[in-house]
């Protein structure tokens, strides 16, 4: 096991697309995955010699990381997050995302290996079914000795938080600021003219899109993170200290500071997330919590099972993708 700083180095990130691109085009992803799983089964069964160890060792897959869509596709869950059962962790219905904010809720039934196997069997018995409780097909990774898709606790705070919940809520809060304290032009001016400091100059957000009918601000993850951290300083002089919308922002900041940290107190985070979600529904009763809000409910347990989730987000994979995007553009 390497330290996180070595795992996050681009030369240590080995994407399937880099080594199997031609094979995937020729044989299809499922056949390549079958081949990879067979290799892992050999590692589980037979000992191999590794230079770092005196004795031969066995190996297996412990956790699979990726964004929500990628993991749902790989694990055989529904790929539409507007579906009735769109959470890969539990069997809660989509409409209950708006009222159930802790794992202790009786409506949140966690997926287990036995339940998942039952759902897969129903799908195999009747292939015409679109899905059963959010399951579309079985995943070959479950044939490994020590891996289960129901016990894969990796989450992606880049897409959930920075490109999802953060931009959705900042947009609503800024619209509230415009409605109560200032005008649109002043909001834009303050964001553009704020002194973000030497270390943040490259992360400075461009003009945000507030008037378009969307759930985001048109920012990437780094711009979103920078704006969130500096928002209290940019608009703090305008907003009333007892403004509940501003308190919602402070709760979000607390949650983000915790999930991006390297140690955690589970109960405290669980309480913050539930308090944050309840306040959001109180302040914006006509707005729906996103699926990504619901995925946050699972964060405390995921941290308990895997350690700091900052170490398993997709940000560094994006950096690897950007390298090949730039290389492609340079050839054109």
What phi and psi values does residue 54 have, to the nearest 5 degrees?
Answer: -75, -35
Which pLDDT value is given to residue 5?
A: 61
8 Å CB contact between 188 and 152? no
pLDDT at 295: 95
CA–CA gap between residue 92 and residue 106 (Å, rounded): 10
Cβ–Cβ contacts within 10 Å for residue 4, how many? 14
303 within 8 A of 268, measured Cβ to Cβ = no
Encoded tokens for 301: 């347990």
Q: Where is 193: in which H helix or E strand?
A: helix 184-193
**CA-CA-CA-CA torsion sign (144, 300, 291, 105):** positive
Residue ranges, the chain, pLDDT below 70: 1-28, 262-266, 316-332
User: Which run of H or of E encompasses 295?
Assistant: helix 291-297
What are the residues whose beta carbons fall under 8 Å from the beta carbon of 34, sequence distance 6 or more?
140
* pLDDT score at 326: 56
- Measured CA to CA in angstroms, residue 80 lies from 90, 102, 130 at distances of 15, 23, 12
Which DSSP string do the residues of 76-108 spell out, in sequence order? TB-S-TTSSS--SSB---GGGGGT--STT-TT-
DSSP 208-242: ---SSSSSS-S--HHHHHHHHHHHHHHHTTTS-TT
pLDDT at 127: 85
Q: Which pLDDT does position 186 carry in this prediction? A: 94
DSSP state of 8: T
């Amino acid at each position: 096991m390497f330290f996180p700083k070595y795992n996050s180095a681009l030369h240590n990130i080995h994407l399937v697309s880099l080594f199997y691109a031609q094979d995937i085009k020729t044989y299809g992803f499922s056949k390549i995955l079958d081949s990879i799983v067979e290799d892992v089964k050999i590692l589980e069964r037979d000992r191999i010699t590794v230079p770092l160890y005196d004795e031969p060792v066995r190996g297996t897959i412990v956790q699979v990381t990726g964004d929500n869509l990628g993991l749902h596709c790989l694990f055989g869950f529904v790929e539409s997050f507007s579906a009735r059962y769109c959470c890969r962790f539990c069997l809660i219905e989509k409409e209950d995302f708006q009222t159930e904010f802790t794992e202790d809720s009786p409506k949140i039934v966690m997926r287990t290996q036995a339940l998942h196997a039952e759902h897969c069997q129903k799908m195999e018995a009747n292939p015409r079914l679109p899905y059963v409780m959010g399951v579309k097909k079985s995943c070959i990774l479950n044939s490994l000795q020590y891996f289960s898709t129901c016990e894969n606790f990796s989450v992606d705070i880049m897409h959930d938080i920075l490109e999802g919940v953060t931009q959705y809520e900042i947009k609503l809060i800024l619209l509230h600021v415009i409605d109560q304290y200032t005008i649109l032009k002043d909001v834009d001016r303050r964001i553009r003219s704020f002194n973000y400091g030497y270390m943040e100059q490259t992360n400075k957000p461009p003009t945000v899109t507030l008037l378009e009918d969307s759930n985001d601000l048109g920012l990437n993850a780094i711009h979103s993170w920078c704006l969130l951290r500096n928002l209290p300083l940019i608009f703090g002089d305008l907003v009333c200290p007892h403004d509940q919308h501003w308190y919602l922002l402070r709760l979000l900041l607390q949650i983000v500071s915790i999930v991006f940290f390297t140690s955690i107190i589970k109960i405290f985070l669980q309480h913050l997330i539930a308090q944050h979600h309840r306040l959001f529904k109180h302040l914006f009763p006509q707005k729906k919590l996103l699926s990504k809000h619901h995925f946050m409910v699972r964060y405390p347990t995921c941290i308990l099972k895997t350690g700091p989730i900052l170490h398993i987000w997709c940000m560094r994979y994006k950096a690897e993708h950007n390298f090949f995007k730039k290389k492609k553009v340079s050839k054109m």
